[in-house]
Chains A and B, each alone.
Chain A
């Protein structure tokens, strides 16, 4: 085990790999969310969290992070990083579960839409001979089924959970990135934020000074009597 604070064998490669995988997986998730037809159900078959496990290993954590290891207390020189990675793994598990629930709801919506389209096709023979009419019927049925579900509490809660979990993951990822920035001697987000705050404060002070009348102008000095008079 090597303390990253003191150089040596610690390598950013696993982190960069985890980062690349994360970006690729994020893109895939966005694509899936944009195209509900691509969601066949089930959890995400992507290495979104696996590479983070490799990164955790690189920090000296257990090589195989099982549920027990996730619950183990963070110990040793890398305990701060362990906590972050543990938190990311927990969020990952929660995300998998929430996303499966979301996909199930999406699947139910598509099922209801298909049933509605079938009913329309049975009532309107035009749909059997016109792909345009059939497609319009499908879109209309799908939007109706979707709107019913989307206005419901369960769907809103599920969407909110996914968004909150991704936000939480992003916060933890930010902590790791800040640590990496420190090791690479480049400005961290916290340092940049601090600078932005200072610039803003300065800007506000300059603006306030510009509108405030100067003491000289506010209180014109009385003309001094000429000496000796």
Chain B
């Protein structure tokens, strides 16, 4: 037997083994059925239209910090921050004694078609913050803005600096026009007025766009990897939870989406100091509270170059950044982020109590 035919035999034998592993994994996946997400105990304390404000039940003695309000993105569901008990940024924060609140933007429908960014930032978010402040008899809270929610939080902190004690941005874009930002490059050619003319933007369309950023890895490799590995039930359930989250994309309200794409992605107004919301100019130099900017080194959605410039534009004298060696989604659910990010947030807040 020559070397070539021996190698080919090994190839065939490995392929057969992979085939069997794949069949077993598929059988196991079929048995899993539906999966639970967002299991940490929480209480609804305010609701308006589709928006819900939750307070999470404490899991440890309070650190005595101002309440922490998490403002998540509208393009995905916030349960990614509480995916499962052992992969939950929220649970980790609760375990460290942080009092956690969350704004859930819900699933916008046709009734939200004309809802503007002004209403989301200066209306809904503003009122949620008022509710948290009233409940705690406080003048200012800690705000944690995630992804697009980080951009919203920056806008709010710039407009209402006295109501934000400390601001944490996580994988939040600030400079929308950097060379590494593939999404931004594509968006420049999309007529967003036309896109939103016939109503809300389907979540499926955004999903497709996100998958198209790395199509071979996101539509092929991750499934092949799952089938070829010998995942146990817990790992398969984790995969199914991720899968559920990735494709659970709410439709985007037409007006707010158009404004976000036009003002941020196309015109980069936030960075240029030319953003106006509700007749008020949003100037990053008005963000004077302490700022912690957390970004992912391998982020394909919000590249580091989109987040890093924040430090040069905020007015705060107390600015810190934290680079984590993960991707965009890994920031919420990877083991590495789990051991790094929540303690970093809690310690940073404690130091500014």
Contact = CB atoms under 8 A, between A and B. Distances in A.
Contacts of B221: 135, 139
Contact of B7 (A33, A36, A128, A143): A128
B335 interface: no
Contacts of B189: 156-157, 159-161, 163-164
Contact of B10 (A130, A135, A196): A130
Nearest to A130: B14
B10 to A, nearest CB: 4
Contacts of B228: 132
Contacts, number: 103
A151 B186 CA distance: 8
Given A34-B211, A139-B216, A196-B113, A151 B182 contact: yes
Contacts of B199: 174, 189
B188 interface: yes
A167 B195 contact: yes
Main SS of the interface on chain A?
A: helix
Interface in A135-193: 135, 139, 142-143, 146-147, 150-151, 156-157, 159-161, 163-164, 167-168, 170-171, 173-174, 189, 192-193
Nearest to B219: A34
Max chain B Cβ within 10 angstroms of own Cβ: one of A125, A159, A167: A167
Interface string B207-237: 0100111111101110010001000000000
Contact of B191 (A129, A135, A164): A164
Nearest to B221: A139
A88 B223 CA distance: 38
A64 interface: no
A83 B115 CA distance: 32
A200 interface: yes
A167 B114 contact: no
Contacts of A125: 7
A143 B217 contact: yes
Nearest to A169: B198
B8 A128 contact: yes
B110 interface: yes
Nearest to B109: A196
B46 interface: no
B210 to A, nearest CB: 11
Interface residues of B, number: 40
B18 interface: yes
Interface residues of A, number: 40
Contacts of A128: 4, 7-8, 11
A197 interface: yes
Contact of B114 (A130, A163, A173, A200): A200
A146 B114 CA distance: 37
A91 to B, nearest CB: 11
B194 interface: yes
A223 interface: no
A129 B219 contact: no
B127 to A, nearest CB: 9
A199 B113 CA distance: 12
B5 to A, nearest CB: 11
A131 interface: yes
B20 interface: no
A66 interface: no
Interface string A190-212: 00110011011000000000000
A199 B111 contact: yes
B186 A139 contact: no
B60 interface: no
B344 interface: no
Contacts of A173: 198
Contacts of A139: 216-217, 220-221
A59 B289 CA distance: 64
B204 interface: yes
Contacts of B32: none
A35 interface: yes
B190 interface: yes
Nearest to B3: A125
A30 interface: yes
B121 to A, nearest CB: 16
Instruction: Give the 7 A-B CB pairs with smallest separation, nearest first.
Output: A160-B189, A129-B7, A129-B10, A142-B216, A167-B194, A128-B7, A167-B195
21 contacts: A30-B208, A35-B219, A36-B216, A128-B11, A129-B7, A130-B11, A131-B14, A132-B14, A139-B217, A150-B182, A150-B186, A150-B212, A160-B186, A164-B189, A167-B197, A171-B198, A193-B110, A193-B114, A196-B110, A200-B114, A200-B115
Given A128-B8, A130-B11, A160-B186, 18 more contacts: A34-B208, A34-B219, A36-B216, A125-B7, A129-B6, A131-B11, A132-B228, A135-B221, A139-B217, A143-B214, A147-B214, A151-B182, A156-B186, A159-B186, A163-B191, A170-B198, A193-B114, A197-B114
